[in-house]
Amino acid sequence: MSTSTPPRPRSATTSAPARSRSALPLAGVRAVAFALMAAVAGTALLDAPAPTAAPPPTTAAPAPGAPAPTASGSTVSAASTPVHFTGKAFDTCEAPSVETMRAWRGSPYGAVGIYFGGRGRGCPGQRELNPGWVSSVQAMGWRLLPVFVGSQAPCVEAPAKKPFAIGSDPWGQGTREAGDAVRAARALGLGTSSPLYLDIEAYRRGDAQCAATTLSFVRAWNREVRRLGYLPGFYSSADTGVRDIEAQRRAGTADLPAVMWFARWLGKPALATEPTLAPAAWTPHARIHQYAGNVTESYGGHRLVIDRNAVDAPVARLTTARAGSSSAEPASATSAFAAPPSAAPTPSVHSAVSRAPARP
């Protein structure tokens, strides 16, 4: 994703509910049968490096784009289901001023990527980004794509990202950073069922150990984000991270992202025709295509260096704190821009194809 610094490509886990061991003999036979089926199915999955603390048992992975489960494993209520946006978005390394965001309402963009957390951000300061900024730009009509740039693949290509390589405990590290992401999202007023997009920059292709370590980190991050009531999204280069995650989807691996944000810079959107993704994968309303990067645009006298994106995916839901309470409820303005379930992407978003990525 775009940056004015070197380029970039935006609690414990819960285990599956325990089954009763005091059931009738028939239940015992069924339990054995299920165990045998699981053992056979497990051979289809790629082996990840064994984390220091083994991952907890996996439950069935939600279909890409499905509502995020709550901590109890159930689906979030209708009142907090994801809000979708279809149209164009931009992202830039540091959140622009409210004045700039107001001027850019005259642009073709309706959503903006914000780098809200993570130790690997190209612009960690984010002087403008706070709850007031979030509520102000949302009130203008902008929709938000929250991006978390945490630890990166051990074989990440961008030199500026190498100091943030995933360590020897990828599962534990992914879980901890997911907690960091949710806390940062809550601090900005981003409510449950909001997507949080994990940014994994392009890394060396063909390095199986590096890819496996990265996968373990990503799966743990996804699982914990889901457990805490948010929707895990994933950003990466179409030819590295996205390709590897698609291979895992085909293999039936659990704990994969619910939303796919792929970078391929060919200049034009190709949201539905990315060659590394199966046509039905991450549909409906679960794809973002970053189709151009590090381009300069100006609206209302305010110039920014941005990446361009075509979006048919979830955006953030804001919360408003109740007086005297720590609970939150959806801000009424957020659902107004939700696309109807059957709405097709706008023609302007789905024209042709796009080039190659870089990011904060």
The string of pLDDT tens digits covering residues 174-228 is: 999 999 999 999 999 999 999 999 999 999 999 999 999 999 999 999 999 999 9
Average pLDDT, stretch 235-252? 98
User: Predicted confidence band at 356 (pLDDT cuts at 50, 70, 90)?
Assistant: very low
What are residue 75's DSSP bridge partners? 69
Q: What mean pLDDT is predicted for residues 292-311?
A: 98
* 337: pLDDT strictly greater than 90: no
The pLDDT confidence band at residue 66, using thresholds 50, 70 and 90, is: very low
pTM of the entire structure?
Answer: 0.73
- Across 133-147, 239-253, 309-323, 325-339, least confident range: 325-339
CA distances from 252 to 120, 268, 346 (A): 30, 31, 31
Q: Which two tokens stand for residue 262?
A: 């792929």
Integer Cα distance of 124 and 129 in angstroms: 10
List the beta bridge partners of residue 236.
262
Q: Is 208 helix (H, G, I), strand (E, B) or coil?
A: helix
Alpha helices in 118-166 (DSSP H): 131-140
Check if the beta carbon of residue 198 is closer than 8 Å to that of residue 234: yes
Determine the distance from the C-alpha atom of residue 345 to the mean position of all C-alpha atoms in its chain, rounded to a whole number. 20
**HSE (side-chain half, CA atoms, 13 Å) at 336:** 11
281, 260 in Cβ contact below 8 A? yes
Backbone angles phi, psi at 74, to 5 degrees: -85, 165
Average pLDDT over residues 89-98: 98
**Number of other CB atoms surrounding residue 128 within 10 Å:** 18
Going by pLDDT thresholds of 50, 70 and 90, the confidence category of residue 360 is: low
Q: Which of 245, 263, 244, 262 is nearest to 356 (CA)?
A: 263
More confident call, 337 vs 360: 360
pLDDT at 24: 32
- Quick one: pLDDT at residue 64? 52
Residue among 129, 91, 126, 119 nearest 176 (CA): 119
Q: Residue 323 has what pLDDT? A: 29
Q: Which DSSP state fits 150?
A: -
Identify whether the C-beta of residue 236 lies closer than 8 Å to the C-beta of residue 202: yes
Contact assessment for residue 198 and residue 230, using Cβ atoms and an 8 Å cutoff: no
Phi, then psi, of 234 in degrees rounded to 5: -140, 130
Q: pLDDT tens digit string along 263-301? A: 999 999 999 999 999 999 999 999 999 999 999 999 999
Q: What is the pLDDT of residue 197?
A: 98
Residue 207 structure tokens: 């390095």
According to DSSP, the residues that pair with 124 across neighbouring strands are none
Residue 242 has pLDDT above 50, yes or no: yes
The residues pairing with 310 across neighbouring beta strands, listed in sequence order, are 88, 289
What value does the mean pLDDT take over residues 105-120? 98
Rounded mean pLDDT, 247-253: 98
| Residue 81 pLDDT class (50, 70, 90 cuts) | confident
pLDDT at residue 71 above 50? no
Q: Rg (Cα) of the chain, in Å, rounded? A: 20
According to the model, what pLDDT value does residue 320 have?
Answer: 59
Q: Average pLDDT of 91-99?
A: 98
Whole-number Å distance between alpha carbons of 251 and 203: 21
Side-chain-side CA neighbours of 100 within 13 Å: the count stands at 14
Give me the residues paired with residue 233 across strands. 197, 259
- Is the Cβ–Cβ distance between 27 and 181 less than 8 Å? no
Find the mean pLDDT for residues 240-253: 98
Nearest 5°: CA angle at 333, between 331 and 334? 75
